[in-house]
Structure 1
Amino acid sequence: MKKKLLKSFVIVTLLMFVSLVYFIGCSDEATPSLYNPPSTTGTPEITSVDPPAVAIGAVTAITITGKNFSSDVSKMKVYFGDEAANILSASPTQLTVISPNVSGDMNIRVANQSSVAFSNSYQYTLTPAAEDFYPAAGDSVNRPYSFVFDKSDNIFSYNASLGVYQITPDGVATLYSPKSGEAYWTSMRFGPNGVLYGVRGSAQAIFTIPANAGGTVKNSVWVSLTPATIKIAKIEFDPLGNMWAAGKNTAIYRIKSDKSYVSFPFDYNVTAMRVFVDNGTTYLYVAAQGTSSTTIKRLPIDANGDLGTPEDYFDFSANYGAEYTINDMTFAADGTLYLATDLPSPIVYINTNKSHGLLYQGILLQSPALSITWGNGNYLYYVRTRMNETSGKFKLAQAIVKMNMLKPGAPYYGM
């Protein structure tokens, strides 16, 4: 009996095994798996970069061309050194990025999540958008207010309570003219024969320092306007050699080289002033502060040196708020106007089509700009006010900040 049962069990087991083999052999589908390996592409490769060698860190849009990229921005990473860039757009062959806020020589590398390896390295240089130029970090004694450049790109800076210092292009500073009775100058310009002109903002006089002052010659009065209630805060030269002077008065004053002067009615507080030639017409641009708002106006200067009718150029208060002040202005050669203000992001640009914005927002420190001047090359400079802790403790020196603009400024007249 046991032998019969064992024989039956063997037969049944054999039949079940044969059936299983049959069904497995007839199936066309692969056995499902819990592991699903990712799809991969070739290793990313950089073939070119535009601009090809140098860009301004955190400012310039950089285009990287190559292969084995992805149109899905979330799958791509671009590194400048060890810092990731901000990817603006992506395709399988091209990436447009803004670099991180770093500077120096470094490698660009591209990573694609669908690839197991980084791209080749591309040698690149990032220059800083802005950096403190003068004085040295931690120097709380030298506090620049107004400044100008000579033709050799030396800076002449009025340092509060000290006088005028000459600063070479490599940052070496020496006393040029010791202070007289003033706290500082609110505006400075070079005139003919290397004479340096300046004003205090609280007086009706214009002062001069002769060329090659040598660190011992103090400034002296060149001309004093009347009545004594006149306050001159800003000066500027035009292509005819005339000096223009203005402040919190009821007029703008034209002063000739023989010290004769005339007034042109203008009932505003002029907080900034610059001459610029636009399409063949010479204009005097001014920041005109009224009782409740500030507007940039421009006045044509005719061949006789007379001012024409003012015209509104840009409504600053309507765009940025009546509580903010324009402290200085300058132009790029392409006609873009730059304003030094007390806005949290202090430099405003105004394009020729009147579009506008904040220069290097998020890069420049949030501290008011007192004055702004273009050097002889592609760098724009401004004075950033001293920064203190909320407790009043000194934090960061008042400094001349150097900004890389990759374009030149408009000419200054008088030199």
Structure 2
Amino acid sequence: MNKKVLLSVFGAVFALVCCEYDLGYKEIWPPQEDFAPDPVITKIVPDSASGGVVTLKIIGRNFDPNPSLNYVCFDNVVCEVLESSDTSITVNRPIGYYSDSTEVKVVVSKAKTIPEFGPYKMEPGVVNIGGGLGEVYSFAVSKGEDIYYHKVSDKKVYRYRTGEGEVEFGSMDKKSSCMRFHPSGKLLIQRSNYKYVYYIDTTGGEAQKFFRLPDRASYFDIGENGIYYFGGTKGLLVVSEDGSIKLETGYYVDDEVTAVRVFDDYVYVATNNDTVVVFRNEIIGEDSVSAPEPYLYRANMGKLSDVVVNDMTFSEDGVLFLVVDGDFPILLVKEEGVEPLYEGILEGDAIRIFWGNGMYLYYARSAGEDSGIYRVIAGREGAPYYGRD
């Protein structure tokens, strides 16, 4: 085994020892003549891991420019090193670990000292909102980061606000399947497999009929042009709230649409199709869309090819997030393939997803006593919801 490999193995083993146990000293013994300069941590950017932040930068000196020769621990948890230079190390924080007083350590291969920095505050990576809100039909997150949700247990609509908790906001005595916000601030609610969109005004109350659709639908989104795109058992519908546009496209009538999301001048449509999981249609003017084009084939999903998509959304940088049945609740669709988000940390049986106004992602679980709405740090912002944003 050559010297470089020996040093790498030594660094990895020492990093594990450093992170798992309190050694009681900060120098390697016995001393050697070819040690690297002592590494120093001067600060971490940002100054706390909060607000949905995932990627952190450790600033200092005498780090190794080779990322694989730096080992970073948050207390006893080793994290992923993304890149490094002599003066900085960029890492992804541990998602499943948090503390108000974390000690951050850096082990640099061939260096004889282990610098520490702290206390450093890290928020939880996953939060069960309100300690468990119960099973919901649908939910949405407002511009002020309030969560509105339609409960299965009593068919009432509630608002959850940080510092205030849960308050009753309104009611809808039928099952809902999708929520969005209207530019006026109204909460829009789609009754499951029905011909009407409902709304609750900004002051709350009982849900009222808003406008009629040309056929039944369960899911919808609003385009930048103010036009609505609906889907369900009757294919893709294009509708304006004033009734001047009521287009039945004829697309997806042989498949059930399970989610609709508008992003970057396209309508993305998830279906139960045996071959294609997600299609997209280009938005052409106000009253038309192009023919469907496949966006995600099941054959390209590997072991995840048999999932049922219950909802979807996009990050601002164009990554598609799918909410699915099963053990891996959120899937990321990237150019290089499909992968679970935070595998082994997020719990499954997800039914709905919604992005907050910053770097928090929310998803609803239908999982017995664990049902509720969960907030997840995403490390990136979501694409606009045009009714809300």
- TM-score, normalised via structure 2 length: 0.76
Shift in CA distance, 399/114, structure 1 to aligned 2, threshold 3 Å: same
CA contact (8 A) 1:129 1:403 kept: yes
Q: Which has the higher contact order (CA 8 A, sep 6+)?
A: 2
Question: Is 1:344 the counterpart of 2:327 in the alignment?
Answer: yes
Deviation at 1:114, TM superposition (A): 8.3
Aligned letter for 1:109?
K
Shift in CA distance, 194/84, structure 1 to aligned 2, threshold 3 Å: closer
- TM-score, normalised via structure 1 length: 0.72
Deviation at 1:206, TM superposition (A): 2.5
Among 215, 222, 228, the residue aligned to 2:210: 222
> What's the secondary structure of 1:186's corresponding residue?
strand
Aligned letter for 1:143?
E
CA contact (8 A) 1:186 1:200 kept: yes
Q: What is the Cα-based RMSD across aligned positions, in Å? A: 3.5
- In the TM superposition, what are the counterparts of 1:28-177 in structure 2 within 5 Å? 38-40=30-32, 44-48=38-42, 51=45, 53-55=47-49, 60=55, 65-67=60-62, 78-81=72-75, 83-86=76-79, 99-100=93-94, 101-103=96-98, 104-110=100-106, 118-133=114-129, 135-137=130-132, 142-160=134-152, 161-170=154-163, 172-177=165-170
> What's the secondary structure of 2:289's corresponding residue?
coil
> What's the secondary structure of 2:301's corresponding residue?
helix
Q: Structure 1, residues 52-92: CA drift from partner, whole Å, max 9, x if none?
A: 53447996476575449899989x875423x1424759999
Among 376, 381, 388, the residue aligned to 1:408: 381
Q: Structure 1, residues 24-75: CA drift from partner, whole Å, max 9, x if none?
A: xxxxxxxxxxxxx93445995423455453447996476575449899989x
Q: Structure 1, residues 81-110: CA drift from partner, whole Å, max 9, x if none?
A: 3x1424759999887765553223322234
| Rg larger in structure | 1
Shift in CA distance, 121/316, structure 1 to aligned 2, threshold 3 Å: same
How many angstroms apart in 1 are the aligned matches of 2:113 and 2:227?
A: 66
Which runs of 5 or more residues in structure 2 are unaligned?
A: 1-28
Deviation at 1:372, TM superposition (A): 0.8
Instruction: Look up the match of 1:275.
Output: 262
Deviation at 1:358, TM superposition (A): 1.8
Question: Is 1:357 the counterpart of 2:353 in the alignment?
Answer: no
CA contact (8 A) 1:317 1:324 kept: no
- Identity, % of aligned positions: 25
Q: Structure 1, residues 343-372: CA drift from partner, whole Å, max 9, x if none?
A: 422111224x4644221222212x121111
Question: Is 1:306 the counterpart of 2:295 in the alignment?
Answer: no
Deviation at 1:400, TM superposition (A): 1.3
Deviation at 1:136, TM superposition (A): 2.0
How many angstroms apart in 2 are the aligned matches of 1:314 and 1:219?
A: 36
Shift in CA distance, 150/42, structure 1 to aligned 2, threshold 3 Å: closer
